[in-house]
Structure 1
Amino acid sequence: MDDSFDSHSEEIKECKEALMNNDHAAAAAKIQEYLENEDNVPLNIAITGECGSGKSTFVNAIRGIDHDDDGAAPTGCVETTMEVTAYPHPKYPNVTFWDLPGIGTTRFPADQYLKHVEFEKFDFFIIISSDRFRENDVKLAQKIQKMKKKFYFVRSKIDHNIQDEKRSKKNFNAETTLKRIRDDCIQGLQQQGFEAPQVFLVSSFDLHLYDFSLLQETLERELPAHKRNALLFTMPNITCEIINKKKEAFQAKIKYHAVLSAAVAGVPVPVLSTTVDLGMMVTVVQEYVLGFGLDKPSLQRLAVSTGVPYENLVAVIKSPLALKDINVDLLLKVTSQMTVAGVSMGAAEASRFIPLLGIPIAMGLSFTATYKTLSFFLNTLAEDAQRVFEKSLGLEPSV
């Protein structure tokens, strides 16, 4: 195993030791444990603000679901959130968005708010307002700040403001309107004692517009390193940069899948390596399809939200793995058309029976076949994701 592997992970250290001792089964178990832990890093995000600020709409939007889908946070012009309510991400249940009751309601006064909502369990807070941030918002932010947790001010319903300005002003200018809204929020917070507040302007119905991508980048940058991918994979594909970051994160894990494949190839049990490889690849490729939003439900929601017909989005997809339930038969069919990978997988199994050198050769071939195959699948699906994104914006795909 090369030195680029994460030496700070206890599982990886133990895997290296097992490989050095030729205990391939133990090495495989440790790599599997590492991958499972990586996929299940918990992330708890609190969404709070005053009644009517658009908290629930934001919770639904960031989870990529509509307000009438199963599991959606209820929305409305009255206070719909009376208890702390958990909304796990539909694809990544380790990431939970918590819709908190409105700040300053009679039931939850601001000075007792953090105690009521069990402040300690949240990784960070998003404080939402649909106009100026008020005294209760500021009090909450100050208490969070004292407890050394992160918080972010989000000004919601920007699309409404833009529409109102267009109707009421002859010399409408979108940039001028956005600057005025941002400056108004910042000045209000400064008057309440914040020296250099940052405010993100967001429309829950048009996440690709305004400051949502900047918010995502800020959250990712300020999260602990081991939680960044958990956040990244939940983000909707609203920019090419997010798609590329997802690809990079998936790519970084391929070496671990390849080492798992190699370790299993070293276990002297006939056909075990091929069986494990195919089962592992089914799981990994399914993660790619879901992560890039290339499953049917995601594409249908994208069609509704953008107004681009579903058929037009599907038409730019080239990979035979998109829009499919990934299974062993499908992967065997696709890999059979990949000469190098197909030969390597067969050769790895056959080489196990060569005296003395058989196991090391099998391990090397298995590593190479898994790495090249998953990289190929990842590249083609990432390109599909970019084409779909560009098509959703009314652009001609560039890849």
Structure 2
Amino acid sequence: MDEYYIIDAAEIEEIKMSLATEDLPSAVGKIKDYFAQQERVELNIAITGESGSGKSTFINAFRGLGDEDEDSAETGVVETTTVPTVYPYPKFPNVKLWDLPGIGTPRFKADEYLKQVQFERYDFFIIIASDRFRECHANLAAEIRKMKKKFYFVRSKIDSNIEAEKRKKTFNEEKTLDTIRENCIKGLEEIGLKSPAVFLISCFELSLYDFNCLEETMERELPQHKRDVLMLALPNITLEINERKKKALQRNIWRLALLSASVAAVPIPVVNAAASISVDVAIIVKYSELSLLCSHPASSLPVYYSTSQG
């Protein structure tokens, strides 16, 4: 049960102790406090790269928005970001994507850049290039690694490369993608990075190419308490994301069902019935909100509920 982090075993014992002393309001209050703690978990993702690499378009796509939608990141053919600019997820404002100023200018220095953009506040970095990765990308990654944080290389605008290659009689999409990936990896290795992973992305077709692999990698490498935060915030871009989101909700159902059953088992007849009902109401209200937030119009996700009656 360790992976079901919403309310752990020690917290359940606290709730049961409150009920054992006939302190029903305190028990229900503790449950609400634990849900509130979950809502305060922040995830800050830094998006960086050279001017024109598609940082802002990537941020919009990652948030399920078009470039011209309300609250979308500003895009353009020239650098539009001069200071770190935050873009929260529409329904999960504690998940934030940060559009960082472009790198690659003659005066760029990786260590100074990280200080300027307040390196400490980000959970991980996504470094984007629209053609080949250069020394500035490798230097930045090396500085991020020194400070013991994660980074991911994203090669953007893959759709444009595929369209260009389709003109050739010998076109093979899989071979084209392998060639682009190998070329990116080779270029990064030549400028000092060992065995870098590179994810090929089309911001206009996130369901294609390596986006699922990128999302799975980020999720896997996050601390436990932030994994579901990322998963539940993501728009339902692909069937794979829908399925993982469904599993995340199902995992939480088991934790909440355990809480409900534990409360119902407290051996105090006078308090037991009222306690069980009050706790279940608190659980249903909060989990209904979460399930509805995760369900987009195009989603096939069901809405889940949990009570001590199953």
Q: Could you give the per-residue CA deviations for residues 102-136 of structure 1, whole angstroms, max 9, x where no partner exists? A: 01346864341000000001000000000111111
Report the AA paired with residue 247 of structure 2.
E
Query: 2:199 and 2:9 mapped to 1: Cα distance?
Result: 35
In 2 relative to 1, CA 68–276 (structure 1 residues): closer, same or farther, beyond 3 Å? farther
Counterpart contact for 2:157–2:201, Cα < 8 Å: yes
Report the AA paired with residue 164 of structure 1.
A
In 2 relative to 1, CA 282–107 (structure 1 residues): closer, same or farther, beyond 3 Å? farther
Structure 1 vs Structure 2 CA RMSD? 3.3
Match of 1:56 in 2: 56
Report whether the alignment pairs 1:289 with 2:292.
yes
Query: 1:3 and 1:178 mapped to 2: Cα distance?
Result: 39
Query: 2:230 and 2:249 mapped to 1: Cα distance?
Result: 13
Report the AA paired with residue 190 of structure 2.
Q
Report the AA paired with residue 216 of structure 2.
E
Q: Give unmatched runs, 5+ long, in structure 1.
A: 300-312, 322-340, 342-365, 373-399
Counterpart contact for 2:88–2:96, Cα < 8 Å: yes
**% identical equivalent positions:** 51
Report the AA paired with residue 84 of structure 1.
P
Larger RCO: 1 or 2 (CA < 8 Å, sep 6+): 2
Report the AA paired with residue 292 of structure 2.
V
Counterpart contact for 2:83–2:100, Cα < 8 Å: yes
Match of 2:144 in 1: 144
Q: Could you give the per-residue CA deviations for residues 201-251 of structure 1, whole angstroms, max 9, x where no partner exists? A: 001111111000000110011111111001101223233332222222222
| Pairwise CA distance, 1:69 | 1.4
Q: What TM-score, normalized by structure 1, do the two folds share? A: 0.68
Query: 1:89 and 1:79 mapped to 2: Cα distance?
Result: 23
Q: Size of the alignment, in residue pairs?
A: 305
Counterpart contact for 1:31–1:256, Cα < 8 Å: no
Counterpart contact for 2:276–2:308, Cα < 8 Å: no
Query: 2:308 and 2:176 mapped to 1: Cα distance?
Result: 55
Query: 2:274 and 2:31 mapped to 1: Cα distance?
Result: 20
| Pairwise CA distance, 1:271 | 8.9
Q: Give unmatched runs, 5+ long, in structure 2.
A: none
Runs of 4 or more, structure 1, over 6 Å off, are: 2-5, 264-268, 270-276
Counterpart contact for 1:159–1:203, Cα < 8 Å: yes
Q: Could you give the per-residue CA deviations for residues 277-312 of structure 1, whole angstroms, max 9, x where no partner exists? A: 567635533432331323xxxx4xxxxxxxxxxxxx
Report the AA paired with residue 49 of structure 1.
G
Query: 2:194 and 2:301 mapped to 1: Cα distance?
Result: 51
Query: 1:283 and 1:191 mapped to 2: Cα distance?
Result: 51
Query: 1:318 and 1:219 mapped to 2: Cα distance?
Result: 22
Query: 1:3 and 1:204 mapped to 2: Cα distance?
Result: 36
In 2 relative to 1, CA 91–106 (structure 1 residues): closer, same or farther, beyond 3 Å? farther
| Pairwise CA distance, 1:57 | 0.4
Question: What pairs up with 1:282-361 in 2 under 5 angstroms?
Answer: 282-294=285-297, 299=298
In 2 relative to 1, CA 126–5 (structure 1 residues): closer, same or farther, beyond 3 Å? closer
Match of 1:225 in 2: 224
Q: What TM-score, normalized by structure 2, do the two folds share? A: 0.86
Query: 1:61 and 1:255 mapped to 2: Cα distance?
Result: 32
Q: Could you give the per-residue CA deviations for residues 165-214 of structure 1, whole angstroms, max 9, x where no partner exists? A: 113x1111101110110011000000011110000000111111100000
In 2 relative to 1, CA 82–105 (structure 1 residues): closer, same or farther, beyond 3 Å? farther
In 2 relative to 1, CA 273–210 (structure 1 residues): closer, same or farther, beyond 3 Å? same
Greater C-alpha Rg: 1
Match of 2:89 in 1: 89
Counterpart contact for 2:260–2:279, Cα < 8 Å: no
Report the AA paired with residue 225 of structure 2.
H
